Amino acid sequence: DAEIVCGDGTWFAGRIFLPAASSHHSGAMRPDEWMNDATPFFPFLPANSSAPVILNKTEVVVLSVVVEGSLEEEGVESPHRRVQVECKERIVSGLLVIDMPEGHQRVLDYLNRPDPFLVVRDGDREHLVRKQRITRVIEPREA
């Protein structure tokens, strides 16, 4: 299940279709791998519809999906930072897992990676945010 916000403000709820196998690990392809691959279009089945539509990845501002388990349950030990990502009026908040080499673990370093989508975790949701649509990223100060 997924929610998609497009650049023209259109919002969709429905289902995405992930490949059953990944070339990088065993099991199904993860949503971030899928959105960051080179294919420009993907099928999406809107809720209450029997026919899929084909969407252009460059028009996707945010794709939100439910993920199983928390970062702690997954054994993620990479540094992470709390961020607020703004795409005009759309705001996504959560954790940015920075799996980068030592000395390159700033949010800025991660944002400058070539992948077109940024992954922000918020509890059981993963938000994939198109970097070209980001207007501002804020790192809230921990109290």
Average pLDDT value for residue range 72-99: 83
Q: Let me know the angle formed at the C-alpha of 133 by 120 and 98, rounded to the nearest 5 degrees.
A: 30
Average pLDDT, rounded, for the chain: 87
Looking at the DSSP bridge assignments, the partners of residue 128 are 63, 119
Q: Tell me the torsion sign for CA atoms 31, 32, 33, 36.
A: positive
Query: pLDDT for 8-33, tens place per residue?
Result: 999 999 999 886 766 666 677 788 88
Instruction: Look up the pTM and report it.
Output: 0.86
pLDDT at 69: 62
Calculate the CA 77 to chain-centre distance: 19
